[in-house]
Structure 1
Amino acid sequence: MPIHLIWGDDYEASNREIQEIIGRVIDPVWKSFNYSQIDGNDPKQNFRALEEVQSAPLGNGGRIVLVRRSPFCNVCSIELANKLEQAIKLIPDNTHLILNNSNKPDKRLKTTKLIQKNIESNPLSKEKSFNLPLPWDINGQRKLVNNIANKLNLKMDNETIDLLVESIGNDSSLINTELQKLTLLAEANNKILNKEESTKITQELVKQSTQNQSTNALEIAGILIKGEKCIALNKIKSLLENGEPALRVIATLTGQARGWLWVHLLDSQQKLDIKEIAKLAGIANPKRIFVIRKQIHGQSFEALLELMKKLLKIEASIKSGTNPIDSFKDNLLTESKILTNN
C-alpha cells in the first residue's frame, strides 16, 4: 500500500517527481486502465479516489491514483478521514496513491498522522517537498538551478549559475526550459554525440541565449524607477506580444528591485566596501554596485519597498492564472508611494 506525499509550491519539480513515479510504476500499454487523476477540490472525487486505490492493477505493471490539490493532509472532513482509515488497510501492494498539494501538511490532523505512519513503515511510501526559494534567497536560487542542471546531466561553474539566477530568478519551470534550450545550443555548437557525458554550459552560452530578453527587462526596470509607469507598461506589452514569457520578465524586474533594496539598505546602515555589499546582497559582480547606486540615487527605501511589493503581487497574480498584462496594469497603475523622491 505505497503512498506518495508530494507537496510544495514548486509545481514544475512536483510534476517531474510525479511523472517519474508514473513512468516507474505503470506499464504504458496498460496506462488507460491503471491511471486515474482526481481533483481534490471535489469531495465526491476524493471518495472515488479511496474506492479506486483498493483495486489491483489490470495486466502488467502497477496502478496509480493521483489526487491533485489533495485535502487529506490539510482540510479533511470527518467522513473522508474515516474513509481513508478504512481504505488505507486495503490498498494492494502494487497500487500507489499519490497525494499532491502546494501547502505543507498539517501534522495535527489525524489523517496526516495516519499517512506519515504508513510512510515510516512502508519502504515504497515517500514524502517529498518541493518549495521555491524566496526572491531574496540567492543561495536557494543557486541550489535550485544546480539541482535542475544535475537532473539534466549538465555541468556549470558558479559564475554561470549566478548569471542564470540573475536572468531568470526562482521560476523552476523557466529554469528547466532555459536549461533544455541551452543543452541544445551546447550540443549544436560542440557536436556532442555521447549522451552519457555531461554537457557543459558556459557563461558565453547563457549570455547568447538570455542577453536580449534580460536587457529589455532591465531597461523596463530603469524606466519604472523613474516613475514612468505608462512607458514601462507599453514596453512590457511589446515584450509579451513578441513571445517573451511573462514570468521571465517579472523575474528580471524582481531581481533588479531586490538589488536596489539591498544596496539602499546596506549603504544607509553602515560603511561597507563594494565587495562586502555585493556579498551580502547576493550580487555576483561587485561592479554592479556602482550602477545600482546611480539608479537609486534620490529614491527612498519606502518607495523601493513599495515597488518590490507590487512586483511580487504581479508574480502571484500571473501564477494564479490572471492575464499577464492585466496583472501588470492592475498593480503598477494603482496609486501608492511608488518611487517618490526623498
Structure 2
Amino acid sequence: MPIYVYWGEDDFAMEQAIASLRDRVLDPLWISFNYTLFSPDLADAAIQALNQVLTPTFGAGGRLVWLSNTTLCQHCSDNVLAELTRTLPVIPENSFLLLTTRNKPDERLKSTKLLKQFASEFREFPLIPPWKTELLVQAVNQAAQTVGLKLTPKTAQMLAEAVGNDTRLLYNEIEKLRLYTAGSHKPLDVETVSKLVRNTTQNSLQLSAAIRTGDTAKALNILADLMNASEPGLRIVATLIGQFRTWLWVKIVMEGGERNPQAIAQAAEIGNPKRVYFLQQEVKFLSVQQLISCLPLLLELEVSLKQGATEMSVLQTKVIELCQVCRQNS
C-alpha cells in the first residue's frame, strides 16, 4: 500500500527521507497539482488529507499527500478512525499518503494498528543517545563514506565528539570538510579537523567532568562558553544525563562486587569494555547516593527548559547545585 508513516526526533534524517519520497513520487512539472501538505493547525486536516489522497492525479507522476506533525498515532476520534478504515484499503496505487510525527506511536490505538497494517513503511528516525559514543562514531563514518570523505579513527572520533547526535550539523561539517579537501586522496588529519570543526559536545562532556569533581568555577566557565557558542540547553542536559547515568550504573555494579569489565560494560550499556577502566577511575571518589541525587536535579533542569525557563539562569543554578552534591564528602 502507498502509505508511509515516519516518526522520531531526528528531524534532518526524516527530512532527507521525505525529500527522497517526494522526488520518487512526483513529476517536477506537475508538483503544484499533485502535492499537498496539511499542517496540524487545520482542525480537519486528517479528513481533508484522506479525501485528497483519493483524488485522481493530474498529468504525469503520482500524487503525494503529506499529513505533517499528525497526532493520529497518539489520539484519534471515532469519525477520523472510521474515515481511516474506509480510505486506507482503497488508496490508488499512484497516490501516496505520508504521515509524520516526532512522538512515538501508541501501539495500543486502533488507528496505529490500522496504519501499521496498511503502511508500506512504518519507520522510526531516532536520535542516537549522546553517551553511545560507538554509535556516534559509526554515524560519522557512514556520513563520510556517502560523500567520499576519508577519515582516520582519530578524526572520526573527534567529529563524533564535536557534533554529538545532531545529524544536520554532522552533514554540514562533513560537507565543509569535503569541500576543503577536494582533490586530495589522503585521510583528514587531526589538525585540520580541530581548526575547521567547532567542538561543543566535547565541552558538554568537560562540563560533566567539572561537575563530577565539584569544581563550580570551572563548570560555570565551561557553561558560559557553551552558551556563547549557541549550544542548545536541552542538548547540554541530554549529554549530562547520559554521562551521569553511565557513571551511576558503573558505580552500582562495582559496589555489587563485579570486577569483570565485560559484565560492567553490559550492565551500563557501554559498547566498548575498554572504557570501563576510565569510568571506574572517574567515579572512584563519588558515592552511589551522590550520583543518584544528581539525577532528579537533571530531570528538574530538563523540565524547566522544556517549559520555557530562561536557559542561562536555570542552567547556572542547577550546575551549582550539582557541583555541591558532588563535592560533599569528596
- Does 1:341 find its partner at 2:328? yes
The amino acid that maps onto 2:172 is Q
Residue in 2 aligned with 1:46?
A: 46
Per mean C-alpha deviation after superposition, the further-off stretch among 224-233 and 127-136 is 224-233
Given that 2:89 and 2:118 are in contact with CA atoms closer than 8 Å, whether structure 1 keeps it comes out as: no
Residue in 1 aligned with 2:122?
A: 127
The amino acid that maps onto 1:71 is T
- Does 1:178 find its partner at 2:200? no
Residue in 2 aligned with 1:122?
A: none
Hey, what's the Cα distance between the residues in 2 that align with 1:210 and 1:251? 21
The amino acid that maps onto 2:223 is I
SS at match of 1:127: strand
In the alignment, structure 2 segments of 5+ residues that lack a partner are none
Cα offset, 1:21, TM superposition: 0.8
CA change 1:296–1:178 in 2 (3 A) is: same
Query: Over aligned residue pairs, what C-alpha RMSD do you find?
Result: 4.2
Equivalence map 1:256-335=2 (5 Å): 256-258=243-245, 260-270=247-257, 272=259, 282=270, 289=277, 293=281, 295-308=282-295, 310-311=297-298, 314=301, 324-325=311-312, 328-329=315-316, 331-332=318-319
CA change 1:15–1:321 in 2 (3 A) is: farther
Cα offset, 1:276, TM superposition: 8.4
Q: Specify which of 199, 209, 212 is matched with residue 225 of structure 1.
A: 212
The amino acid that maps onto 1:96 is F
Given that 1:182 and 1:209 are in contact with CA atoms closer than 8 Å, whether structure 2 keeps it comes out as: no
Hey, what's the Cα distance between the residues in 2 that align with 1:161 and 1:20? 27
Cα offset, 1:226, TM superposition: 4.1
- Does 1:95 find its partner at 2:95? yes
Given that 2:162 and 2:202 are in contact with CA atoms closer than 8 Å, whether structure 1 keeps it comes out as: no
Equivalence map 1:9-48=2 (5 Å): 9-40=9-40, 42-48=42-48
SS at match of 1:178: helix
SS at match of 1:338: helix
Residue in 2 aligned with 1:62?
A: 62
Hey, what's the Cα distance between the residues in 1 that align with 2:215 and 2:250? 22
Hey, what's the Cα distance between the residues in 2 that align with 1:215 and 1:110? 44
The amino acid that maps onto 1:188 is Y
The amino acid that maps onto 1:126 is E
SS at match of 2:44: helix
Given that 1:182 and 1:201 are in contact with CA atoms closer than 8 Å, whether structure 2 keeps it comes out as: no
SS at match of 1:70: coil
Per mean C-alpha deviation after superposition, the further-off stretch among 8-17 and 302-311 is 302-311
The amino acid that maps onto 2:11 is Y
The amino acid that maps onto 1:239 is L
The amino acid that maps onto 1:115 is L
Residue in 2 aligned with 1:77?
A: 77
CA change 1:254–1:327 in 2 (3 A) is: same
Residue in 2 aligned with 1:7?
A: 7
In the alignment, structure 1 segments of 5+ residues that lack a partner are 120-124
SS at match of 1:9: coil
CA change 1:215–1:177 in 2 (3 A) is: closer
Hey, what's the Cα distance between the residues in 1 that align with 2:191 and 2:299? 30
Cα offset, 1:271, TM superposition: 6.4
CA change 1:107–1:247 in 2 (3 A) is: closer
Hey, what's the Cα distance between the residues in 2 that align with 1:330 and 1:49? 47
Hey, what's the Cα distance between the residues in 1 that align with 2:306 and 2:35? 27
How high is the sequence identity, in percent, across the aligned residues?
Answer: 29
Hey, what's the Cα distance between the residues in 1 that align with 2:298 and 2:162? 16
SS at match of 2:14: helix
Given that 1:167 and 1:251 are in contact with CA atoms closer than 8 Å, whether structure 2 keeps it comes out as: no
Given that 1:300 and 1:340 are in contact with CA atoms closer than 8 Å, whether structure 2 keeps it comes out as: no
CA change 1:39–1:215 in 2 (3 A) is: closer
TM-score when normalising by structure 2: 0.75
The amino acid that maps onto 1:236 is L
TM-score when normalising by structure 1: 0.73
Cα offset, 1:79, TM superposition: 0.4
Cα offset, 1:73, TM superposition: 3.1
The amino acid that maps onto 2:13 is A
Hey, what's the Cα distance between the residues in 2 that align with 1:327 and 1:21? 41
CA change 1:240–1:47 in 2 (3 A) is: same
